[in-house]
Structure formats: C-alpha cells, structure tokens
Amino acid sequence: MTHPTTWLRVLPQGLFCEPGGFFVDPIRPVDRAVITHAHSDHARPGHASVLASPATATLMQVRMGEGRTGALHTLGWGEPLTVGDVRLTLQPAGHVLGSAQVVMEYEGCRAVVSGDYKRCPDPTCDGFVPVQCDVFITEATFGLPVFRHPKPQKEIARLLASVALFPDRSHIVGCYALGKCQRLVVLLREAGWDRPIYLHGALASLCAAYQRLGVALRDLRPATIAAREELRGAIVLAPPSAVQDRWARRLADPVVGLASGWMRVRQRAKSRGIELPLVISDHADWDELLRTIDDVQAPEIWVTHGREEALIRAVSLKGLKGRALRLIGYGDEDDEGVSIDDAA
C-alpha cells in the first residue's frame, strides 16, 4: 500500500491528488477540479474542467452562470471513474443537496475527503454514507465539545411557538441561501406549516433550482413585493446579511431570527441583535464528528477547516493518528462574511 502522504499534497491551489492529476475543491483556478459541493468557498469559478455530482453541477450553474463553471462532468453516487492512476468515486455527504465525499483509491490505499458533512437526517439531500478507508480527511467546523446541535425539529417548534405568541408580527429568519434555506422550508412543512413562506429575492433562484431537482418546497412567495399587512404573522426567510438592515425594517414589527450552528454561542446571537436564535447547522457537531471517525475505521485522520486541535487530541485518545491539514481559503457558510455573495 502506498501511503497517501506520498500522493495527496497540500499545494497553494489546494489539496492535490498527484497520481490523478486533480485538485479537490481548489481555491485557485486549476486544470482539473473535483468539487464536493456548490458552496462558494468550495466551488469557485475559473477551472478548466470540473467533476461533481449531478446536483452540484446544476447548483454551480445556477450560482455562477453557465459560462463560468468550467467544462462540467458529472458522476453519480458510487459510480467508479478512473482518473490517471486513481479510482475515484463520490458518496453522499449529507451537507446540502448534491454534497459529496471524494473517495480516492491508489495502489491499495483508500483516502476519503469528507467535504462538509453532517449526520443528522436532512430531507433535502441524500444522507452521509460512511466509507471505510485508510485515511479520512474530515472537516471540523464545530470541532469542540461545546458544540452539540439540538434536534432541528425542536428549533422549528420554537419558531412556530413564537409565531403563535406574536400573531401580528413578521418572523424574519436569516439563513444561508444554499441548503439552509431549503432545509428550513422543508422542516417547516414537516411541522405542519402549510401557509406561504416568503423569500428575500436573494433566495429565490436556488429555491427554484431545488424544486427543479425534486425537493418540494410548496408555496413560496417573494417578500419584496408582498404588502406589509400580508406579512403580519408570516414567516420570511432572508440571507443573514439582510435580517438586520433596512430591508428587514419594512416588515411589520419583525421578530428577527437566525438559523446557524453558531447560534449555540449566545454571545454571537446577542451581539448581532438576534431575538430568536435557532441552532440549526449543516455541519457535523462534536458527537457526529467522533461517531463518523468510529464509523469509517480509518487508522489515520486528517483534519481541515475548523478547530483542528481538539479533534486531533480526541483522535489520539482513540489510539488513532491525527494530523492538521493546513488548507486555507475555506470559510464557513454559516458565518456572516461569506453569506453575502450568495445574493447573486
């Protein structure tokens, strides 16, 4: 077996699979990119050739426009593809629609890049499939023991309780445009909310794309042209950057909420004036990270974009080898900074 330290390298463009001649989620334009999912820090424009799951390819076209994605090639779940000397497959990551793990096999060794992932069931995308491997490269956005996400249904129930309590106020909930927004809509539908859900304009095109890809969101209406009176007692979804600005103030005495894993940190909610913090995340929490490390049975864990140290300590307590993979350029779509560009 040829150990991945000899064939997976961190270059300025990102993680490079040398015998396959491709990068995974490169942060700079490259000839051949394999893209785990369509969030803007992972799927960037300007590559010559892109391999992704079919849904990710569609969502990239919606977000970037047809001409900017590079030549798109798609690969279904579990379909093997030989790229150079590497056998490559994609498996669902459970993060957002189309999100994939990249499975690479070379000379008797299997390495898996998780991309962003979660284990909590999400009705808007295929669930994470654990793949046994020799090296597992995991994200660690919420890689601290304090991060334990509650059940999303419980958070949705809090939102609906607030709507019942304040029937004359609009409830505006900040949410990332790709994934979180559609998940909130489906969670609300599953909780019995069958009234129209109103959307800020920045969320419309990705919701339409989800619907075309088979995720039923039912009655969605633009919040911008709706009358103020119609929005009393209504639920309005908007990008996180819009919930506190002038746009939100036109609504009827709004209750301002935000759906993010970071809402677990009370101080963050408070400093941003969030009255109704909803702890709903598309990233694995601490328990899900550890459970996944058990499930994939890899003797070696490489940790990327997040709080690497705590997870590496936990990994070594399990008797496994941990390594911080210093990949730069990945944000966190749950966080304020990267949410604005999704207005496109």
DSSP-derived letter for residue 84 is T
55: amino acid identity, one letter:
A
Residues contacting residue 327 through CB under 8 Å, at least 6 positions apart? 10, 14, 15, 304, 305
Question: Would you say 39 or 63 has its CB closer to Zn ion?
Answer: 39
Minimum CB–partner distance for residue 91 and Zn ion (Å): 16
Minimum CB–partner distance for residue 42 and Zn ion (Å): 6
134: amino acid identity, one letter:
D
Closest CA to 153 of 118, 109, 106, 121: 121
Taking CB under 5 A as the binding criterion, the range among 37-45, 49-57, 195-203, 237-245 that sits at the site for Zn ion is 37-45
Question: Would you say 116 or 288 has its CB closer to Zn ion?
Answer: 116
**Cα–Cα distance for residue pair 209/63, rounded to 1 Å:** 10
Minimum CB–partner distance for residue 184 and Zn ion (Å): 16
> At 58, phi and psi to the nearest 5?
-65, -45
Give the per-residue contact string, 58-97, with Zn ion (x = CB under 5 A; - = no). ----------------------------------------
Q: Which secondary structure element, helix H or strand E, spans residue 87, and what is its range?
A: strand 86-92
Question: Would you say 39 or 183 has its CB closer to Zn ion?
Answer: 39
Whether residue 99 contacts residue 93, with contact meaning beta carbons closer than 8 Å, is answered with: yes
Whether residue 114 contacts residue 135, with contact meaning beta carbons closer than 8 Å, is answered with: no
State the Rg of the chain over Cα.
20
Question: Would you say 105 or 116 has its CB closer to Zn ion?
Answer: 116
Minimum CB–partner distance for residue 276 and Zn ion (Å): 24
Residue 132 in tokens: 């046994």
Residues 204-243 binding Zn ion (CB under 5 A) are none
Question: Would you say 264 or 305 has its CB closer to Zn ion?
Answer: 305
Minimum CB–partner distance for residue 322 and Zn ion (Å): 19
Minimum CB–partner distance for residue 141 and Zn ion (Å): 7
Sheet with 71-74, side-by-side order of all strands: 8-11, 14-17, 22-24, 32-34, 49-52, 71-74
Taking CB under 5 A as the binding criterion, the range among 46-54, 66-74, 101-109, 116-124 that sits at the site for Zn ion is 116-124
**Does 116 engage in binding with Zn ion (CB under 5 A)?**
yes
Give the per-residue contact string, 319-338, with Zn ion (x = CB under 5 A; - = no). -----------x--------
Minimum CB–partner distance for residue 330 and Zn ion (Å): 5
Q: How far is CA 300 from CA 9, 53, 87, 284, in A?
A: 16, 26, 20, 19
Exposed (0-12), middle (13-18) or buried (19+): which is 133, by Cβ within 10 Å? buried
Count of residues that bind Zn ion according to CB under 5 A? 3
Question: Would you say 95 or 200 has its CB closer to Zn ion?
Answer: 95
Q: Is 70 left (phi over 0), alpha (psi -120 to 50) or beta?
A: left
Question: Would you say 116 or 134 has its CB closer to Zn ion?
Answer: 116
Question: Would you say 234 or 289 has its CB closer to Zn ion?
Answer: 289
**Cα–Cα distance for residue pair 335/174, rounded to 1 Å:** 11
Minimum CB–partner distance for residue 219 and Zn ion (Å): 28
Minimum CB–partner distance for residue 231 and Zn ion (Å): 30
Question: Would you say 116 or 300 has its CB closer to Zn ion?
Answer: 116
- Give the binding site for Zn ion (CB under 5 A): 39, 116, 330
